Structure 1
């Protein structure tokens, strides 16, 4: 019954994605006044997850056909540009940071609830 617990892997992947998204947002905010800096963004978690469920998975880096850790493509945001060539919008970065926190909280809630289900099925509280 518990041989394949993909829900925990998915929750961990979502938490990692949220952390990476928060780090990119912080980097964008730090470079808000840097002339010529192009803001970066991650694709949504659903897009990154869709690609990782297809194909072979490796459990360690030495495996031949799979990848142990898939890297997510960081995109350049090409929205409105300031006269100095900077594309960072502090308002948009605030929204991205809030979205990353919500995504992380969601991942933790999924993890906790799944753990509660397993404990209940084993007769433990």
Structure 2
């Protein structure tokens, strides 16, 4: 019953997005010495979530259109790599470190939203 609340779906989607982006960052770092490898990234969570959930209708029951709660994000080539090595590799370890810190913040934010919402829900039920 409570797993269908939008705030919980959003925090779950944010955590999944952070996990996907962390995997992409790890792949970039692993291929930092691969000739011709281009750095990849993920579309920002705000843009992808807004696009995915910009439906005028709201699903209130499992049988309604769009009630599956799916959230998909695709991995894209980094649109503006800052530098390229002589062998054509577009991975900058420094940029990837900054992205990794950003991903950790996003994941921590998703957990904070989830925990805070759970505490509000528990308090409203008299169990907080």
Same fold (TM over 0.5): yes
1:92 correspondence with 2:90: no
Deviation at 1:3, TM superposition (A): 9.4
1:13: which partner in 2?
13
Deviation at 1:70, TM superposition (A): 3.9
| Greater mean deviation of Cα atoms: 103-112 or 78-87 | 78-87
Alignment partner of 1:32: what SS? coil
Alignment partner of 2:22: what SS? helix
Ranges of 4+ aligned residues in structure 1 off by more than 3 Å: 55-60, 65-70
TM-score, normalization: structure 1? 0.85
2:54: which partner in 1?
54
Aligned equivalents of 2:3, 2:21: Cα separation in 1? 31
Q: State the superposition RMSD in angstroms.
A: 2.6
Aligned equivalents of 1:16, 1:54: Cα separation in 2? 19
2:77: which partner in 1?
76
Deviation at 1:52, TM superposition (A): 1.1
Stretches of structure 2 lacking an aligned partner (at least 5 in a row): none
Deviation at 1:76, TM superposition (A): 0.9
Aligned equivalents of 2:5, 2:71: Cα separation in 1? 19
1:31 correspondence with 2:31: yes
Stretches of structure 1 lacking an aligned partner (at least 5 in a row): none
Aligned equivalents of 2:112, 2:20: Cα separation in 1? 19
* Preserved CA contact (<8 Å) 2:49 2:71: no
Deviation at 1:66, TM superposition (A): 4.9
Aligned equivalents of 2:84, 2:67: Cα separation in 1? 37
Aligned residues: 121
